[in-house]
Structure 1
Amino acid sequence: MITKSIPNLFTLGNMVLGMLAILLALEGRFSLAAIMVIVAMLLDGLDGRVARALNAQSEFGKELDSLSDLISFGIAPALIMYMISFHSIPSGVAWAVTIIFPMCGALRLARFNVQKGAPGYFIGLPIPAAGGVLATLSLFYREISAPYFVVSMMLLSYLMISTVRYPNFKKIGLPKKAIAYAPLVVIIAVVIAVVFPDQMAKLIFIPLVIYAAYGLRQNINRLLRRKHRDEEDADAQEMFRPKR
């Protein structure tokens, strides 16, 4: 019974960090708030691996994970972006964009829970990646103007509910012996993040953006290949069509 509860502790830790991110954002400590989202991503990546290593997967854990993800990677990043970057745009636009992001995240999580994805892929940008990009992107508010943030936020929202395929790294297993060291890894990550919040957040931003852009590029390439095949088929049909 205790063994089966261990993965849920990581999931609840994910939720706690999401709530801390919200509280820190309300206090204006945006860099640390973004870091809480990033560390929550680490816990989110560990809970499933720990569950599989301990053979402790359950529907309860799956639903708890979705609820935690919505807080940590949907609501928290949207609030961080709203509070740090949306002061210079009309409040109606700011409210709408801020609401749409977690709403699309909820749709993405619900779809993931009821539909099987392609083997080795996620369908749509996973909400932890979208939330991580948004939380770290917000820290560039000195270099980027608010309209660009609005466009980026809407694009991330769309990618979550799209059919774009993204590589699934969750199947990478965790040795059972390594579970004992998982809390230590989390503690070290938190310490480093707290000591160097700005540097850590902006450094992590780069691979997250590459991941988000990779799936989009793959989808564009797939659409172009499909269009090329359709054009070839149309040309072939035209060639063999009887002439009057």
Structure 2
Amino acid sequence: MANSSSTTTPADKKPRKHFSMIREFHLADVFTLGNAACGVGAVFLAMAYMSSKSLTHFLWAAALAPAAFVFDVFDGRIARWRQTQSALGRELDSLADVISFGVMPAALGFAAGLDGGWDCAVLVYFVCCGVSRLARYNVTAESLSEGGNKVKYFEGTPIPTSVILVAVLAAAALKGRVGDQVWGGAWQLGPWLLHPLVLLFALSGTLMISKTLRIPKL
């Protein structure tokens, strides 16, 4: 009679798969997750600002954008230094960037008063452009690197350039030009409001998905 203790069941193997995935994470991935954490924290602070109207909440949310950028810069450099680039790391980086440089600036813009119907359409367009930009980068990274271990140039502006939008919003908040006093005022176009300031998001998104604009990667 076979010893039942020697039989391996699928349930026995499942934890091993989880441990295997944990072992695939590297130091660079920790920095990538730091990037994502900054983005999520900023979204929470933007929501807190909408209920409290505390300038502190808004400014802390804005401050997490450059913090996310620092994490984003260092995760790539650490991966190259330790020679631990991987498909998992690239996917993690893109997912973190969507949060920190796509969803977060849009959420902060909405909290700042860009909440009209046309504003929301533009903010959705901006986030979709960012997602499309990252997806295209992932599928073309190998060809753009020309056989090396680093991409030579970007097609379209990188999504972290949205920190400029966050800086504009932070400057507006410091001057009290958010909410009903948002820079540029508001236009009534048909059934919805448009705040001209949101057009910066439209410009940023359009530049991200441009295929003619090539920017050398430092």
Tell me if both proteins adopt one fold, taking TM over 0.5 as the criterion: yes
Q: Counterpart of 1:140?
A: 171
Which protein is richer in helix relative to its size? Answer: 1
Distance in 2, Cα, partners of 1:133 & 1:33: 14
Taking the TM superposition and a 5 Å limit, the aligned residue runs for 1:70-219 are: 70-87=98-115, 91-115=116-140, 116-117=143-144, 120-129=152-161, 131-141=162-172, 142=177, 144-146=183-185, 147-163=195-211, 164-169=213-218
Distance in 2, Cα, partners of 1:95 & 1:138: 16
Say which of 10, 25, 38 aligns to 2:46: 25
Distance in 2, Cα, partners of 1:155 & 1:136: 16
3-state SS in 2 of match to 1:27? helix
Distance in 1, Cα, partners of 2:99 & 2:86: 20
Is 1:4–1:56's contact at 8 Å kept on the other side of the alignment? no
| Percent identity (aligned) | 38
Which residue identity is paired with 2:159? I
> How many pairs does the alignment contain?
165
Distance in 1, Cα, partners of 2:144 & 2:204: 19
Structure 2 unaligned residues grouped into runs of 5+: 1-21, 50-56, 146-150, 186-194
Q: How has the CA–CA distance of structure 1 residues 57 and 92 changed in structure 2, closer, same or farther, with 3 Å as cutoff?
A: same
| Pairwise CA distance, 1:3 | 9.2
Q: How has the CA–CA distance of structure 1 residues 117 and 85 changed in structure 2, closer, same or farther, with 3 Å as cutoff?
A: farther
Say which of 66, 74, 90 aligns to 1:46: 74
Distance in 1, Cα, partners of 2:23 & 2:91: 19
Structure 1 unaligned residues grouped into runs of 5+: 170-244
What TM-score, normalized by structure 1, do the two folds share? 0.63
Which residue identity is paired with 1:43? F
What TM-score, normalized by structure 2, do the two folds share? 0.70
Is 2:123–2:202's contact at 8 Å kept on the other side of the alignment? no
